[in-house]
Chain A
Amino acid sequence: MDLILVNLIDGLVTGLLLFMLSAGLTLIFSMMGVLNFAHASFYMLGAYFAFQISLYLGFWMGLLIAPLVVGVLGAGVERYGLRRVHQYGHVPELIFTFGLALLIEEVVQFIWGKNQMPYATPEILQFTAFSIAGNSIPAYKIFMIFISIAIFIGLLYVLTRTRVGMIIQAALTYPKTVEALGHNVPLIFMGVFGVGTALAGVAGVIAGPVLGTFPGMAFVLGSIVFVTIVIGGLGSLWGALVASLLIGWITTFSKAYNLRMEDLLTSLGFTKPEPIWDSAWRDLWSITSPQIADILPYILMVLILIFRPYGLFGKRDA
C-alpha cells in the first residue's frame, strides 16, 4: 500500500512533466495545424540555458530567465522559419521542424559538448519532504508537482478567462473573422508558438537536474511526447493531461513491480518449454515488466490507433 503511494507520486511527477511538453505542443498544433517536431529540442534548450544561467545567477534566476529566452527563440523560429515554409504545405512544415530538431542537437553539442552537464537541484530544496514507510520523497519532486500544476492552472486561466485568451480561442476556429475584426492573427500565431516553446523550456529547466542535462535528452523524450498527444487525441488539452498521467503511471508502475511473463503464461495454463534457451519463444517467456516499461506507451498508442483512431479525447480524425 505504501509502495503504491510512492509510485503514484513518482508517476505524477513524470506525467506532469510530460504534460508540460504536450500542453505546449497541443496548443501549437490546434492553433496552426503544425506539429512541432522540435518541441523536445526546446525543452533541451531550456535545461541548457538554465544550467548556464545558474552558474552565474543561481537556479531561481535560471527558472525565470531560461523559459523567456526559449520562448523568444521559438517565436523567432515561427517568424523567420515556419511562416516561410508554411506556403509549401504541412509535410514540408513537419520536415522543417524535424531538421530543426537535428540542428538544435548539433548546436548544443557544438557549444556544450557531448557530456552530461553538472546541473544540480538548488540547495534549498535538497532535503526530504516526508517519507512513506521508509521511502523518502525529496522536496524537489513536490516542488516539480506544484510548479507544473501552477502553470497548468495559469494557462487555463489565461485561455478561458482573459481577453487575450478569448482572442486566441477565437483565432483557433475563425482566423479570418478574427483578422477582419482588426486583430493581428500572424502575431497571435507567433505569440502562441513562443508560449508553447516557453512551456517546453520550463519543463526543461525543472527536469534538467533530475533527468540529466545531456545532448540526447530531447531524443529520449521527443517521441514519447508525440505518442502522448496521439493517445490523448490531437488538439485536446484535457486529452493531453489524461494521456500524460496515464503514461507516467503505467511506466512507473511497470518498473516498480517485477511482473514476469513466465508467471502470467503459466497461470494461463501454458507449460514452459524445456530447455528454454533453445525455444524460438524464449524471449516471450523471459520478458519482465521493467524491461518493457519504456515501450508500453508505444504499444498503447498502436492499440488506441486500431480501436479508437481519434485518440481518447479527440473529436476529429485531425
Chain B
Amino acid sequence: MTDQLTTDTTKPAQRMRTGSMALPLIPWVLAAALLMVLPFIFTANSAITIMNQMAITIIFALAYNMLLGQGGMLSFGHAVYAGVGGFACVHIMNMDDFFAQIPLPLLPVFGGLMGMGLATIVGAFSTRKAGTVFAMISLGVGELIAACSVIIVAFFGGEEGISGDRTYGMPFFGVEFLQQIEVYYLIAVWLLISAALMYLYSRTPLGRMANAVRDNPERAEFLGYSARWVRFFSFVASGFFAGVAGALFAINYEILTEENLNTTQSGLILLATFLGGVGFFFGPILGAIVFTLVQTVLSLQTELWGFYLGIVFVVTVMFFPGGLAGLIMMHVPAMRLGKLNRLGVPYLKTLGSGALGCLGAAALIEMTFHARHASTGDHEMTIYWTTFDSHTVLPWILATAVTLIGFGVARATAPALAEAWGEANTPDGATR
C-alpha cells in the first residue's frame, strides 16, 4: 500500500503528504479541540463522569496495547500496575506535608513511576519469553498482588480500600480541583500528553523493534537486538502509562479498592483493547470509548450485558481479529478507489436486517431470562420501551418472527454484499 503511495505522485493525497510536515499533527489538534469542547456539548454531571472514565480507560488501553499489539505479549494481570500506581497516589494524597507541596496535576508522574517500578521488578523475570509463558506468569503475578490486597493492609487498606482527598494538594494556578469539570480538563490534558508520548514511543527505533520481536524474535536476535531487553523496555514503558491511568483514577474517584487490582479488571482492559483492535494505534482508543459506553449505558438497561459482551468478544476473536479498527481500515482500499459509496445500499440491506435479527434475538434472551429468574408473580417486563407480560404467547411469537426474518433477510442478501464488496475493491477496468 505504501509503495503505491510513494510512486504515484499524480494523486492529490500524495502531493499533500510530501509537501507538508504539519499533516501528521492534524489528528492531534482535532483531538485537543474535541476534548476542549466536549464538556460544553455534554454538560450533565453524569456525562462528565463517563467522559472521565473514558479518558482513563483510553490511557490504560493504549498502555496495554504497547504490550499486546506492539510487543505481542498477552498480559492477564495488567490491572495491578495501574492499581498500584493509583494506591501510591492515594497514599501521597494522605501525606499532608508532602502533598501540600506538589501541585495535583503532577501527581500522575508519581503514579507512573510507581507502576514503572513494579513493572521493572516483574519484567525482570517475566519477559524472557512472549506468548503463552508470559501470559501465565502475568496471570500468576497479577493474582498474587491482588491477593496481597487483603493481607498487606497498611498499603492496600484491606477489603474497604483506601481513600484520600485531592483538594489538599497545592492549588495549581488557583485551581483547587473541587469541581468535576476541573478534573475533566486535568485528565484530558494528561490523556493528550500520554497518548502523544505513547505514539512517539511506537515510532522510536525501540518501538519498531518491539514490532520486529513480536513478529519474529529469532530474526530480531540475528540483527543484534536482544529480544528479551526489547520486551523488557516495552513492559516497563507500559507499566509507566498504566500507572498514570491509575493515578488519574485515584484523582477522579479519590478511592482505590481491591477491585482495581483483580483479574476481572485485567480481563476488562484486554476486552476493551481487543474489541477496539490491536493492529492500529487508534484501535484501543476506539475500543475504550465503545467499551465504556457499553459498560455504563448498557449495564443500566440490562442485567445480561456481560453475556452480550462475551458473545461479541468471542465472535470478534473468531471472525474479526483486527477488531473495530481492523473493520474500519478494511474499507481504505475501496475508499482510495472512490467506490465506497457503492457499498452503502448492500450494507444497509444486510447489516440493517442483521441488526434487526440481533435485536429480536436479544428480546428472546431477555424474555427467557425474565421468565426464568424474575420473582414469582412478577410477569411484567419492559424491553425496547414496551411493557408487556412475559408469560403470554404474543411477544414470543413477535420476537421469534423478527429474529427469523431479520437473520433470514441478512442471509439472503449476503451474497449481494459480497459481490458489491469485491466490486468495490477492484480497480475499474481490471478483470477479476
CA distance A81 to B153 in the complex (A): 43
Q: Is B304 within 8 A of A110, CB to CB?
A: yes
Q: Is B151 within 8 A of A295, CB to CB?
A: yes
Q: Provide the residues of chain B in CB contact with A298, threshold 8 Å.
A: 140-141, 143-144, 147
Q: Is A295 within 8 A of B147, CB to CB?
A: yes
Q: Is B321 within 8 A of A92, CB to CB?
A: yes
* A102: nearest chain-B partner, CB-CB: B310
CA distance A86 to B299 in the complex (A): 32
- Which of A51-59, A183-191, A222-230 participates in binding chain B? A222-230
Interface residues on B, range: 35 or more
Chain A residues with a Cβ closer than 8 Å to the other chain, count: 47
| Contact mask for chain A residues 4-22; partner B; CB cutoff 8 A; 1 contact, 0 none | 0000000000000000000
Q: Is B74 within 8 A of A102, CB to CB?
A: no
Q: Is A179 an interface residue (CB 8 A)?
A: no
A91 partner, pick from B126, B131, B151, beta carbons under 8 A: B131
Q: Is A283 within 8 A of B151, CB to CB?
A: yes
Q: Is B263 an interface residue (CB 8 A)?
A: yes
B311 partner, pick from A85, A88, A103, A306, beta carbons under 8 A: A103
**Chain B: minimal CB distance from A240 (Å):** 14
Q: Is A96 within 8 A of B314, CB to CB?
A: yes
CA distance A115 to B432 in the complex (A): 58
Q: Is B151 within 8 A of A92, CB to CB?
A: no
Q: Is B37 an interface residue (CB 8 A)?
A: no
Q: Is A110 within 8 A of B318, CB to CB?
A: no
Q: Is B129 within 8 A of A92, CB to CB?
A: no
Q: Is A79 an interface residue (CB 8 A)?
A: no
Q: A85-B318, A94-B74 are in contact. Are A223 and B140 (CB under 8 A)?
A: yes
Q: Is A94 within 8 A of B318, CB to CB?
A: no
Q: Is A305 within 8 A of B125, CB to CB?
A: yes
Q: Is A95 within 8 A of B74, CB to CB?
A: yes
Q: Is A110 within 8 A of B147, CB to CB?
A: no
**Chain B: minimal CB distance from A3 (Å):** 25
Please provide the chain A residues from 75 to 102 with a CB less than 8 Å away from any CB of chain B in the complex: 81, 84-85, 88, 90-92, 94-96, 98-100, 102
B140 partner, pick from A85, A88, A301, A317, beta carbons under 8 A: A301
Q: Is A318 within 8 A of B154, CB to CB?
A: no
- Which of A135-143, A152-160, A200-208, A286-294 participates in binding chain B? A286-294
Please provide the chain B residues from 302 to 361 with a CB less than 8 Å away from any CB of chain A in the complex: 304, 306-307, 309-311, 313-314, 317-318, 321
Q: Is B140 within 8 A of A302, CB to CB?
A: yes
Q: Provide the residues of chain B in CB contact with A95, threshold 8 Å.
A: 74, 270, 274, 317
A305 partner, pick from B137, B151, B306, beta carbons under 8 A: B137
Q: Is A282 an interface residue (CB 8 A)?
A: yes
A102 partner, pick from B132, B152, B153, B313, beta carbons under 8 A: B313
| Contact mask for chain B residues 263-276; partner A; CB cutoff 8 A; 1 contact, 0 none | 10001001100100
**Chain A: minimal CB distance from B128 (Å):** 6
Q: A35-B135, A110-B369 are in contact. Are A99 and B153 (CB under 8 A)?
A: no
Q: Is A61 an interface residue (CB 8 A)?
A: no
A309 partner, pick from B128, B141, B143, B274, beta carbons under 8 A: B128
Q: Provide the residues of chain B in CB contact with A92, threshold 8 Å.
A: 317, 321
CA distance A91 to B314 in the complex (A): 14
A107 partner, pick from B141, B143, B307, beta carbons under 8 A: B307
Q: Is A295 within 8 A of B306, CB to CB?
A: no
Q: Is B373 an interface residue (CB 8 A)?
A: yes
Q: Is A283 within 8 A of B140, CB to CB?
A: no
Q: Is A234 an interface residue (CB 8 A)?
A: yes
Q: Is B133 an interface residue (CB 8 A)?
A: yes
B132 partner, pick from A90, A106, A281, beta carbons under 8 A: A90
Q: Is B139 an interface residue (CB 8 A)?
A: yes
Q: Provide the residues of chain A in CB contact with B148, threshold 8 Å.
A: 295
Q: Provide the residues of chain A in CB contact with B406, threshold 8 Å.
A: none
A103 partner, pick from B129, B132, B314, beta carbons under 8 A: B314
Q: A98-B270, A99-B313 are in contact. Are A226 and B140 (CB under 8 A)?
A: yes
Q: How many A-B pairs with Cβ below 8 Å?
A: 122
CA distance A298 to B131 in the complex (A): 19
Q: Is A299 an interface residue (CB 8 A)?
A: yes
Q: Provide the residues of chain B in CB contact with A107, threshold 8 Å.
A: 307
* B153: nearest chain-A partner, CB-CB: A283
* B319: nearest chain-A partner, CB-CB: A84
B131 partner, pick from A90, A110, A283, A295, beta carbons under 8 A: A90
Q: Provide the residues of chain A in CB contact with B147, threshold 8 Å.
A: 294-295, 298
Q: Provide the residues of chain A in CB contact with B373, threshold 8 Å.
A: 113
**Chain A: minimal CB distance from B368 (Å):** 8
Q: Provide the residues of chain B in CB contact with A294, threshold 8 Å.
A: 147
Q: Provide the residues of chain A in CB contact with B290, threshold 8 Å.
A: none
Q: Is A280 an interface residue (CB 8 A)?
A: yes
CA distance A260 to B356 in the complex (A): 62
CA distance A298 to B147 in the complex (A): 10
Q: Is B136 an interface residue (CB 8 A)?
A: yes
Q: Provide the residues of chain A in CB contact with B136, threshold 8 Å.
A: 35, 226-227, 230
Q: Is B72 an interface residue (CB 8 A)?
A: yes
**Chain A: minimal CB distance from B343 (Å):** 25
CA distance A164 to B258 in the complex (A): 48
| Contact mask for chain A residues 256-284; partner B; CB cutoff 8 A; 1 contact, 0 none | 00000000000000000000000011110
Q: Provide the residues of chain B in CB contact with A35, threshold 8 Å.
A: 132, 135-136
Q: Is A100 within 8 A of B314, CB to CB?
A: yes
Please provide the chain B residues from 355 to 393 with a CB less than 8 Å away from any CB of chain A in the complex: 365, 369, 372-373
Q: What 9 pairs between A and B have smallest CB-CB spacing? A: A103-B310, A298-B144, A106-B307, A99-B313, A295-B147, A99-B314, A96-B317, A102-B310, A301-B140
Extra inter-chain contacts (11) besides given A99-B271, A226-B140, A230-B136, CB under 8 Å: A85-B317, A91-B135, A94-B131, A94-B132, A96-B317, A102-B313, A110-B365, A282-B154, A291-B151, A298-B143, A318-B133
30 residue pairs of the A-B complex, CB under 8 angstroms, read A81-B314, A84-B318, A85-B317, A85-B318, A90-B131, A94-B132, A95-B74, A98-B270, A99-B313, A99-B317, A103-B311, A103-B313, A111-B372, A113-B373, A223-B263, A227-B136, A230-B140, A281-B154, A282-B154, A283-B155, A294-B147, A295-B151, A298-B140, A298-B141, A298-B143, A301-B137, A302-B141, A305-B126, A305-B137, A318-B133
